[in-house]
Amino acid sequence: MITYGTSTIYTSFGKESKARLPLNVRQAIETVTKKPVPEWRNILLLGISGNTADGIDCLLPDIKYFS
């Protein structure tokens, strides 16, 4: 799962999120939040989580995405 603030940008089980895969990160965020990301914001903080091969939930450190 990829999140931006409280908005979920991508999940492996969502139809809508799979449709956002061709978009770049900034466009995907704007689509979900329905607000433009300010042009001056060059660093976007993304939350990442997932499952291990054993099915255990894991949280990864936040990622600073430079756009």
Model confidence at 61: pLDDT above 90: yes
Q: Tens digits of per-residue pLDDT, 17-45?
A: 888 989 999 999 999 999 999 999 999 99
| Tokens matching residue 9 | 């940008």
The answer, as to whether pTM is greater than 0.95, is: no
The fraction of the chain above a pLDDT of 70, given in percent, is 100
Angle (CA) 49-52-54 rounded to 5° is 145
Fold classified for 2-66:
3.10.290
- CA separation for the pair 59, 50 (Å, rounded): 7
pLDDT class of 8 with cuts at 50, 70, 90: very high
Q: Are 54 and 12 in contact (CB under 8 A)?
A: no
